[in-house]
Structures are given as C-alpha cells and as structure tokens.
Structure 1
Amino acid sequence: MPDRQQGGGRNVSRAFLEDRAKFVRKETVRLSRIAGAGHYSSTFSAAELFAALYYAHLRINPAEPRWPDRDRFILSKGHAAIGLYPVLADLGFFDPKLLDDYTRFGSPFGDHPDMKKITGVDFSSGSLGHGLSIGVGMALGARAQGRSFRTYVMLGDGELAEGQVWEAAMAAGHFGLRSLVAIVDRNQLCIDGRTEEIMAIEPIEDRFRSFGWDTRRIDGHDLDAILGALDGLAAAGRGRPQAIIADTVKGRGVKRMELALNWHVGNLAGADYDDVMAELDAGLQPLEAVS
C-alpha cells in the first residue's frame, strides 16, 4: 500500500498504521494497570479502526482542535476511550504525560470521555445508545452552517439493541444526511454474551438500508479494507447517510481475550501483564489460533 497523506499533514504507510494499532492495544493494557481495571477487549476490536481514522483519514488539526471545519468523531461506544486517549496524545492534542495519572483523582481522563475536559474529544459519552442521535444533530448543524465536514459515529454492536439508535437512523435517512458516517464495531459480543443470543441484530446492513442508508461490510482488522471503505465514502452533502459494518473480534490481539466473555472488563497483573505485552509486541496472530 503506498504512503498516504493524513489531514494534519502526515505521510503514513500500512506498516505505520499497523504499529499504531499495536500502540493502541499496548497503551490500553498500560493504562488499565494504572486504573486497576480496563475495557481491554472492546478497545482491541477497534484498534485498526482508530489507527486508520486518526492517522490516515479524518480531517483534523491538533494545533487547532476547535477548527470549525474539522471532521467530528463520536465514540458512541465510549468505554473504548482508553484506546482513543493515547491516539489523541500521540497526535499532539495534549501532553502524553497526562495519561500517567489515568483515572486518578483530579485526572480529566475517565472510563468515558468528557469533551469539556479533554482536548480533541467531540462527545461526552456515558450510557450507550446516544451517539448516533448526536451525530444527526452535528450533521444537521453542518448543513445549517454551510460547512462540509463529515461526522463519524463509532457504535458497538451491543448498543444496536437501543431503540434510540434506530430513531436516529430513521431521522438521518429522512433528512438525507450524507455527511453522517456510522461505523459499527461488529465484535460479536456484548457484556452479557453473544449479541445474536441476547438481542439479534443481523442482518445489520439490511436494517440500515431499510432506513435509507448506503452500507458496506468489511473486515475491521484489515487496514486495506478499512481505508478502502473510508476512501470510498461519498462527499458530504445531501443524500443517503453512510454505514460501514466492520466485522471484528472482541479482544483481537491477545489470544486469551479473543471472543472471551470474561474480558469485557478485567485487570492484568504480574506475569500475566508481562505475557500480554510480549504477545502484543509479537503482532497479530492468525485468527485460526483462537480457541
């Protein structure tokens, strides 16, 4: 894959993006140890998505974080913020040393992001299910102001059980918000178990299409597929909103966590911490190795 130009002026290669996805996973493990627990597996499934979006695609400028024409990113699955914070720091939105006190008393960095405290964050999350509605509002705001930025919303597949998500999907289709992009991290599990057993959400593409969306489905760990989908998005304007269904593996990158129900939240200590860091350093292993 040839070098790419990021919105903030970076040339990035596939190798660089793979390294940044590894960085997301390793920082998630490090920050979880500081906090005493963390959302490992929900963040690992989104690592390649974070890397592709922030280092190769989003129109952003860390030197001007409130730039009116920047793309907006809404992390609706806000519990994965532990993997987003290091990316924002790495890009220069704030001093990386601030993360050394992650979740400690007085730190602006919590389990979910607070847009009033953290530079580079466009949405304060909490209970899941609200992000797409906020995205509809931002896209309508861009239209009212005559701006061409896109609004990206990353949703977890578990939160698709929330009725508000589908009210927002219906509104986006009705208003023709082509500048709105939903990215579903389809990692197959929610906190209570497999999504199709808790509350079936398939066929996701057909459901979004029924509300007037253009959709495509990709391998959410394949950087070429992710970048191809992002590059193939229609320009902002009036038209069908756009959804990318990214098939991922919850816990991807650490064998003991891959599709394991007991790692939605957890804590690594001692030899387990060292073993996982070594496994991440070794790089992604074939999915056939998943037990």
Structure 2
Amino acid sequence: MNIGLSSDRRSNVSLARRAYNIRRKAIQMGEVQGQGYVGQALGVADVLAVSFFHAAEYRPEDPEWEGRDRYLLSIGHYAIAFYAALIEAGILPEEELPTYGMDDSRMPMSGMASYTPGMEMSGGSLGLGLGIAVGRAMGLKRKGSSALVFNLMSDGELGEGSTWEAAMSAAHHGLDNLICIVDFNNQQADGASTRMLSSEPVDKKFEAFGWFVQRVDGNDIDALVAAFDAARGHDKPQPRVIICDTVMCKGVPFLESREITHFVRVEADEWQKALAVLDEEAPK
C-alpha cells in the first residue's frame, strides 16, 4: 500500500486530525522522559501531517521501498515530532512510543538513520540537511527515478553557510525533484533567530538563488496543502522551498502564552494538562 500522493486525497479535516494525533503522541513521548523539544513538535505538527498524509509517497510496510519519496529531517532535535509522524503513518508501531529516549530504543532523542525506520539521515550538527538532500536529489535523477526529496530544516540553519552553498548547487543543477521546507518559528538556541543572525527577507534570498518560493502560515492546513500541491506541480526546472511560519507550542494555549525559548520546559504536572487541552479541541 502506498500512502500520500498515490492514495485518495485526504480531506483537510482528516489532515487536521492527523496533526492532532501527532501533537498528542509528541506530548506522550515528552512525558516519558520528562523533557523534549515539544514546543517545536507542537508547532510543526501541521507541516508533518500534510507532508506525510498528502504530499509524500511511501509504503509503511516497506520503509526502504526504492520508489519512495525521501523525507530528510535536517533538524535532529525535532526527532520527537518526526517519531510521532512515523508512528501515525504506521512506519513505527505505536507500542514503541513509551521507549522514546530509552536505552536500545529505535527512537533516540536525536534522529539517527541507523536506528529508525523512515529516518533518512542522522541529525545533530545543523546546516547539513540541505546539502545531503541535494546529493540525494542528484542521485535519484541519475537513476531516472521520479521520487522526490523533501528536506525539513529550521530557520536557525539559514545562518549556516553550508545551507546557501547547497541552495546555490540545487538551482545550478535544476533539481526540480527537491522540496525544502523551512520551519520558521523564530527560535534557536541563543534566542530569536531574527536577532541572532537575521535571514530576512528569506523568501527574496531563495528567489535570488533561483528557487521557486512560497511562504505560508505553517499552522494553516489549507495553506499548506495548496503550497505542497503548487510545489509538486511547478513546471520549471527549479528546486522548490516552502517557508512555513509556525507558532511554538501550537495547540496548547497555556504553553503558547508563556515566554517562549528554544527549549520549552514542561513541569511534571503539565503533561497530562496539555493532553487534556489538546483533547478539548480535537477535530471531529
């Protein structure tokens, strides 16, 4: 069974339900360890829902299927969000959710391709994902494959020179099989990314590098569906980028409203409260 583009188009209500499930699973995993990058996970859940259940093509029962679209997680510390999506997609069994971050788990706290089915690259040092994605896209073209390469990266990675070298290479080689997704939540380890090293206007920068660019509300399912469809349907030999402006801790207002930092601390008694808030607003 192929999931994603090859299956029937999912309704946007169904995609919202997928995003809710991803948020819920991320909170559950965070509770296992008493920590985790849940602010980012809650913020990017809509992007992952549309990615996995509308845009990308894969076989849950065969994560190494040669015809799959490659989905790279450049931001290794977003692994908690990515595992939630992999579980929701049926690539990882839900029974493994309580093993998050444990010894011998297939879900270590930072993404590792050698451990986890569906994890296409090992994360850690930031700024590497787009370069790896460029190499994957070039390789697939040489093999005559119609598969796409998706690369999910952070706005903080826009401050890395390697990102822009890769962006220039992708345009030079006309990699129309590459879709880069930037989670622009305006946070990195030392503070707001726009204060640390502003990349704005980031859309104009990518355009100047020769990319097909869209910038959308990354927590708007309708906007995301339209953007992914436009990226796939764009008929010029250009790489594509979707810049997604997201809200940290989206879906849990009491976390959204506190002072947001790169690592959002959740107290021991707040995990269940967060789940209850999500459940109150769950899509029908």
Is TM more than 0.5 here? yes
Among 192, 195, 217, the alignment partner of 2:193 is 195
Percent identical across equivalent pairs?
33
Deviations 1:1-25 (A, max 9, x none): xxxx834635532222111111111
| CA spacing shift, 1:263–1:212, aligned 2, 3 Å | closer
Residue 266 of structure 1: how far off its partner (Å): 2.5
Among 66, 70, 73, the alignment partner of 2:71 is 73
Residue 109 of structure 1: how far off its partner (Å): 1.0
Amino acid in structure 2 at the alignment position of 1:276: A
Residue 178 of structure 1: how far off its partner (Å): 1.0
Contact 1:193 1:261 in 2 (8 A): no
- Which runs of 5 or more residues in structure 1 are unaligned? 285-291
- The match for 1:29 is 27
Among 156, 162, 171, the alignment partner of 1:164 is 162
Among 279, 286, 291, the alignment partner of 2:277 is 279
State the alpha-carbon separation in 2 of the partners of residues 238 and 139 from structure 1: 16
- The match for 1:155 is 153
- The match for 2:221 is 223
Contact 2:75 2:152 in 1 (8 A): yes
- Which runs of 5 or more residues in structure 2 are unaligned? none
Contact 1:179 1:235 in 2 (8 A): no
Contact 2:130 2:167 in 1 (8 A): yes
State the alpha-carbon separation in 2 of the partners of residues 156 and 92 from structure 1: 25
State the alpha-carbon separation in 1 of the partners of residues 11 and 175 from structure 2: 31
- The match for 2:268 is 269
Show the 5 A alignment for 1:45-194.
Answer: 45-194=43-192
Amino acid in structure 2 at the alignment position of 1:231: D
State the alpha-carbon separation in 2 of the partners of residues 262 and 201 from structure 1: 19
Among 242, 245, 259, the alignment partner of 1:244 is 242
SS at match of 1:233: helix
Of 257-266 and 112-121, the range deviating more from structure 2: 257-266
Of 94-103 and 129-138, the range deviating more from structure 2: 94-103
State the alpha-carbon separation in 2 of the partners of residues 265 and 61 from structure 1: 34
Residue 170 of structure 1: how far off its partner (Å): 0.8
State the alpha-carbon separation in 1 of the partners of residues 173 and 262 from structure 2: 39
Deviations 1:127-154 (A, max 9, x none): 1111000000000001110111110111
State the alpha-carbon separation in 2 of the partners of residues 190 and 114 from structure 1: 21
SS at match of 1:253: coil
Amino acid in structure 2 at the alignment position of 1:197: R
The alignment's C-alpha RMSD in Å is 2.0
State the alpha-carbon separation in 1 of the partners of residues 116 and 234 from structure 2: 27
State the alpha-carbon separation in 2 of the partners of residues 262 and 200 from structure 1: 17
State the alpha-carbon separation in 2 of the partners of residues 128 and 61 from structure 1: 28
Residue 238 of structure 1: how far off its partner (Å): 7.3
Contact 2:101 2:109 in 1 (8 A): yes
State the alpha-carbon separation in 1 of the partners of residues 157 and 256 from structure 2: 20
Of 235-244 and 86-95, the range deviating more from structure 2: 235-244
Amino acid in structure 2 at the alignment position of 1:195: S
The TM-score normalised by the length of structure 2 is 0.92
State the alpha-carbon separation in 2 of the partners of residues 263 and 237 from structure 1: 37
- The match for 1:233 is 231
SS at match of 2:231: coil
Contact 1:178 1:235 in 2 (8 A): no
| CA spacing shift, 1:190–1:137, aligned 2, 3 Å | same
- The match for 1:288 is none
The TM-score normalised by the length of structure 1 is 0.90
- The match for 1:289 is none
Structure 1 consecutive aligned stretches of length 4 or more whose deviation exceeds 4 Å: 234-238
Deviations 1:77-128 (A, max 9, x none): 2211112212212322232111211111111211122112111111111111
* Aligned length in residues: 279
